[in-house]
Amino acid sequence: MNDALMNRNVPADLLQTLKSFNQLHLVQFWDSLNAAQQQQLADQIRSIDFELIQTTLRKGLEQTDAEPQANRADKAKAPASVVRQPSSDADAGEWKRAAQLGEQLLKDGQVGVITVAGGQGSRLGFEHPKGLYPIGPISQRSLFQIFAEQILARNRRHQTSILWMIMTSDATHSETVQFFQAQNFFGLNPDRVVFFQQGCMPAVDASTGKVLLESTSAICLSPDGHGGLVSGLSNAGLLRQMKDEGIQHVFYHQVDNPTVILCDPAFTGFHADHQSSLSTNVVRKASPTERMGVLVEVDGQTQIIEYSELTPSQAAKEDETGQWIFWAGNTAIHMFSRPFLETLAEEGCRLPLHLAKKRVACIDENGQPAPPAGSSELNGIKFERFIFDALPLAPKTLIVEGNRDREFNPVKNGQGTDSPATARSALSRIGRQWLKVAGFNLADETPVEISPLIALDSDELNDAIKSGVCSLEQLLGKN
């Protein structure tokens, strides 16, 4: 192919790069492309770090899959220090003090929010970005609307104007921005909502390591994982902006959990009080084999072990007191200190790339769609960075136990566990619990929806009902 290509109009720098990394097939359809298509392909090729891909593939393939991980799991211990849910008056006092500190930090404008919303949401099977998913049990409020209303409510409660940074990807950016514009930013000041894009990585052929083409003029690209956050923030100038604004603490959450308590004052307070670089909210796993990453200590360092790294017997392992070692499930709710994010960015984002074998729709050397329809072949390898790989790099970490029923009800799958049905039913259940405190006993399964603009917690709901701000009928969708 080389000689023939030399006669074609492929820019010399591309030819040289492709030749040295054995990727010349990427320009094999060059002559059939128009100028705009050639430009698109050239830009994509120039954006790829072939060296990094080659090294990562080599390292990934050299590892005998289970060996180093098995070692890590064997050495792992349950985290030594966790701020547990309050179980005594003294604990309750600690949580209250932490919440007061968190509220003060919010009031002082020291807290920002990051929502990562760049994923492709393939398990859910929704044809739009996941944040647009209509999750409200009665109103069909979207996930984004719930978060926006929480931020509005916090702004009002703490007389502040929280900076909301939403990470999108090529796959989700335009639709997400258009959605916010069409909804008038849900009443938020548009200047305080910033969208920034993460990077992308090419997929490669699982057997040859060659970068896959999606069409004759485009490479198969996908978002580079939630760990793309660090360079995304830095490239968008947001680390600078946060510093200029005096934001010290950044609340991080994923787009798929409608019951997350954004900027949770107690979590924020504990994080700040411990001068933690990276804090993590954990909940007790429902069963040892639940598909959740777990926080552990390995050689004195806080780390996450993915569920896929544990055999069922490892996952159920107990310590000498009979407690599960791998109990502390990661809810993917974190607080970062802004200086730690800066350090990560300055050090050129040391988060490692992970390889995952996936089915990738592409074209073959004849320009025909591959893999063939009906085949379940995992033909490709995708590369992703994970934000929790920042944990072992953090000078100081903190683990805080959350209230699982209240805070962690993610939407991952179309049906079954962690689906829209389970998340809606959790939203209603929480609403019924708050209404019970206000004196209303509702039958199980009664759909209830409480906008964060009405109440962020049961005390606030109680006040809202007593003062006539809202009625039971309204919360049941009956007027």
Residues in contact with ligand UTP by CB under 6 A are 116-124, 130, 167, 169, 198, 223-226, 228, 254-256, 412
Q: How far is the CB of 68 from ligand UTP (least distance, A)?
A: 22
Is 14 buried (19+), middle (13-18) or exposed (0-12) by CB count in 10 A? buried
The helix or strand, by DSSP H or E, that contains position 190, with its residue range, turns out to be none
Q: How far is the CB of 309 from ligand UTP (least distance, A)?
A: 16
User: Is 411 in contact with 143 (CB distance < 8 Å)?
Assistant: yes
DSSP 199: -
Coil, helix or strand at residue 303: strand
Q: What is the CA radius of gyration of the chain?
A: 24
The structure tokens listed for 136 are 């409200």
DSSP 86: P
Phi, psi of 114 (to 5 degrees): -120, 125
Q: How far is the CB of 408 from ligand UTP (least distance, A)?
A: 13
Q: Which amino acid is at 264?
A: D
Q: Which amino acid is at 158?
A: H
Q: How far is the CB of 239 from ligand UTP (least distance, A)?
A: 18
Listed in sequence order, the residues at least 6 apart from 22 whose beta carbon sits closer than 8 Å to its beta carbon are 210
Q: How far is the CB of 466 from ligand UTP (least distance, A)?
A: 37
Q: Which amino acid is at 206?
A: A
- The residue among 27 and 292 lying less far from ligand UTP, judged by its C-beta, is 292
- The residue among 27 and 124 lying less far from ligand UTP, judged by its C-beta, is 124
- The residue among 333 and 398 lying less far from ligand UTP, judged by its C-beta, is 333
Q: Which residue has the tokens 């090419």?
A: 202
User: Is 200 in contact with 223 (CB distance < 8 Å)?
Assistant: yes
Residue 121: count other Cβ atoms within 10 Å of its Cβ. Answer: 20
Q: How far is the CB of 474 from ligand UTP (least distance, A)?
A: 31
- The residue among 141 and 226 lying less far from ligand UTP, judged by its C-beta, is 226
User: Is 403 in contact with 319 (CB distance < 8 Å)?
Assistant: no
- The residue among 114 and 465 lying less far from ligand UTP, judged by its C-beta, is 114
Q: Which residue has the tokens 């991080």?
A: 252
User: Is 159 in contact with 107 (CB distance < 8 Å)?
Assistant: yes
Q: How far is the CB of 122 from ligand UTP (least distance, A)?
A: 4
- Rounded Cα distance between 368 and 230, Å, is 37
Is 330 buried (19+), middle (13-18) or exposed (0-12) by CB count in 10 A? buried
Q: How far is the CB of 451 from ligand UTP (least distance, A)?
A: 22
Query: 472: closest CA among 457, 454, 453, 456?
Result: 454
Q: How far is the CB of 421 from ligand UTP (least distance, A)?
A: 16
- The residue among 271 and 412 lying less far from ligand UTP, judged by its C-beta, is 412
- The residue among 228 and 329 lying less far from ligand UTP, judged by its C-beta, is 228
User: Is 76 in contact with 297 (CB distance < 8 Å)?
Assistant: yes
Q: How far is the CB of 142 from ligand UTP (least distance, A)?
A: 14
- The residue among 102 and 121 lying less far from ligand UTP, judged by its C-beta, is 121
User: Is 228 in contact with 199 (CB distance < 8 Å)?
Assistant: yes
- The residue among 123 and 192 lying less far from ligand UTP, judged by its C-beta, is 123
User: Is 314 in contact with 73 (CB distance < 8 Å)?
Assistant: yes
One-letter-per-residue 3-state SS of 201-237: EECEECCCCCECEEECCEECEEECCHHHHHHHHHHCC
Residue number with the smallest Cβ distance to ligand UTP: 119
Q: How far is the CB of 201 from ligand UTP (least distance, A)?
A: 9
- The residue among 42 and 221 lying less far from ligand UTP, judged by its C-beta, is 221
Listed in sequence order, the residues at least 6 apart from 475 whose beta carbon sits closer than 8 Å to its beta carbon are 431, 435, 448, 449, 450, 454
Q: How far is the CB of 223 from ligand UTP (least distance, A)?
A: 3
- The residue among 254 and 428 lying less far from ligand UTP, judged by its C-beta, is 254
User: Is 197 in contact with 169 (CB distance < 8 Å)?
Assistant: yes
- The residue among 86 and 352 lying less far from ligand UTP, judged by its C-beta, is 352
The structure tokens listed for 361 are 């729709």
